[in-house]
Amino acid sequence: MTAVSTLTDHGRDLARVEADLGEAAALEDTVAQGPDAVTRVLQLHVLRASLTGRPAAQADVARIADRALELLGPWPDLCLLRADLAMRGHRLADARRELARAPGAAECTQGRAVMVDLLVQQGDVDGAERLATELVAEERTWDHLARLAHLAVVRGDVERADRLYVEAEDEITVKSMRSFAWVELERGRLCVLTGSTAAAHRHYTRAAKAYTGHWTVSQRMGELDAAVGRTTDAIRRLETVLTRTGRPEISQTLASLYARSGDHVRARKHRRQALATFVTSAFRGEALYLHHLAELADPAAAVGWARRDLQLRPNHLTRSTLALALLRDGHTTEARAEISAALATGLRDPRLMARAAAVLGDREAVSARRP
Contacts of 27 (CB under 8 A, 6+ apart): 38, 41, 42, 64, 67, 68, 71
Q: Look at residue 349 and tell me if it is in a domain.
A: yes
Query: 320-336 as b/e, with b when 16 or more CB fall inside 10 Å?
Result: bbbbbbbbbbebeeebb
Q: Of 99, 114, 136, which residue is a domain's last?
A: 99
pLDDT digits (tens, 9 = 90+) for 314-361: 999 999 999 999 999 999 999 999 999 999 999 999 999 999 999 999
Q: Look at residue 2 and tell me if it is in a domain.
A: no
- Residues 42 and 37: their CA atoms lie apart, in Å, by 9
Residue 183, pLDDT score:
98
Residue-number span of the structural domain to which 346 is assigned:
293-371
Name the DSSP class of 67: H
Shared-domain flag, residues 11 and 93: yes
Shared-domain flag, residues 248 and 188: no
Quote the mean pLDDT of the chain. Answer: 94
- Residues 219 and 241: their CA atoms lie apart, in Å, by 6
Average pLDDT (49-63) is 95
Query: Length of the chain, please?
Result: 371
Q: Look at residue 366 and tell me if it is in a domain.
A: yes
Nearest residue to 106 via CA among 74, 137, 133: 74
Query: Which one is predicted more confidently, 174 or 335?
Result: 335
Question: Percent of the chain having pLDDT more than 90?
Answer: 91
pLDDT digits (tens, 9 = 90+) for 295-310: 999 999 999 999 999 9
For helices 177-193 and 350-360, what crossing angle results, to 10°? 30
**CA distances for 361 relative to 306, 320, 329, 364, angstroms:** 21, 14, 17, 6
CATH of the domain at 164: 1.25.40.10
**CA distances for 366 relative to 324, 343, 355, angstroms:** 18, 11, 12
Q: Look at residue 118 and tell me if it is in a domain.
A: no
CA angle 200, 204, 208 (to 5 degrees): 170
Residue 27, pLDDT score:
87
Contact 330/314 with Cβ under 8 angstroms?
A: no
At 25, is the pLDDT very low, low, confident or very high (cuts 50, 70, 90)? confident
Query: Total structural domains in the chain?
Result: 4
Q: Look at residue 87 and tell me if it is in a domain.
A: yes
Q: Look at residue 225 and tell me if it is in a domain.
A: yes
Shared-domain flag, residues 222 and 186: no
Shared-domain flag, residues 134 and 204: yes
The answer, yes or no, to whether residue 48 has pLDDT greater than 50, is yes
Nearest residue to 51 via CA among 244, 223, 249, 220: 244
Q: Of 159, 191, 211, which residue is a domain's last?
A: 211
CATH of the domain at 55: 1.25.40
Shared-domain flag, residues 248 and 314: no
Residue 2, pLDDT score:
40
Q: Look at residue 14 and tell me if it is in a domain.
A: yes
Q: Of 211, 230, 253, which residue is a domain's last?
A: 211
Q: Look at residue 115 and tell me if it is in a domain.
A: no
Contact 45/61 with Cβ under 8 angstroms?
A: yes
Average pLDDT (208-230) is 97
Residue 364, pLDDT score:
62
Contacts of 297 (CB under 8 A, 6+ apart): 275, 278, 279, 305
Shared-domain flag, residues 151 and 200: yes
At 212, is the pLDDT very low, low, confident or very high (cuts 50, 70, 90)? very high
Residue 367, pLDDT score:
56
Task: Decide: residue 234, CB within 10 A, 0-12 exposed, 13-18 middle, 19+ buried.
Answer: buried
pLDDT digits (tens, 9 = 90+) for 232-289: 999 999 999 999 999 999 999 999 999 999 999 999 999 999 999 999 999 999 999 9
Shared-domain flag, residues 85 and 131: no
